[in-house]
Amino acid sequence: MTDIKSLHDGFSLSTHRVAAKGARKGGVVVIQEIFGISPHIRAMCDAFAARGYEALAPSLFDRIERGFQAGMDEAGMQKARGAIQNVNWDEVAGDVQAAIDALAPPVMITGFCYGGAVAWLAAQRCSGLSAASGFYGRFITALLASPPQVPIILHFGSKDAGIPLTEVDKIRAAYPDAPIHLYDAGHGFCREGSRDFDAPSRDLALQRTFDLFDQHAN
């Protein structure tokens, strides 16, 4: 674990960092779900590292609890939901900017659930990015006031009860040039152990993300 200092207020955040395997193509900031730097997020860092990207996952809930972790049981869900009450997007943007700045370019960003919305936010407001990929970002519809400044693709499950397709349509209507991919799956389809985990959907979404990042790594 190495620390980074938020560009918002200088707060020190812990991170999970994985070196690129083989020749380094670039860096990827991997943004957590509401559960913290979970085994799933660590596995995603490993997946990007295996493709030649140095991966860095900042612990965005360290202001609540250093090394924040929440389980998948009811108590963990309550803790996780509490962590996203009253999200300060200016603070989040400053935290993510520090993570971007900690990686040598080119730098990409991806994220899952809460992190999918943060990836969208970073594409709007952060500097030093080359591309972005957001997975089932529930809060993106609250962040439609300005366009993304780098190429971004989005991934949603067509059976996601928490993100109705009407919400996805709002994003598509606001920014029709931002590709949106729908999968025959529910929420959290990339996370092994989730009731909605769907390996074919995960593999296709990750391949699309790898392809986009590889395109902009040169």
Specify the pLDDT at position 189. 97
E strand intervals along the chain: 3-5, 12-18, 26-31, 53-58, 107-112, 129-135, 152-157, 180-183
9-31 pLDDT per residue, tens? 999 999 999 999 999 999 999 99
Q: In the numeric block, which tokens belong to residue 204?
A: 């296709």
Residue 80 pLDDT greater than 80, yes or no: yes
* Confidence grade of residue 162 (pLDDT, cut at 50, 70, 90): very high
What's the pLDDT band for 1 if we cut at 50, 70, 90? low
Domains of the chain, by residue range, sit at 3-215
pLDDT digits (tens, 9 = 90+) for 185-198: 999 999 998 899 99
- SS3 of residue 120 by DSSP: helix
Looking at domain 3-215, its CATH class is: alpha beta
- Residues above pLDDT 90, as percent of the chain: 88
pTM above 0.95, yes or no: yes
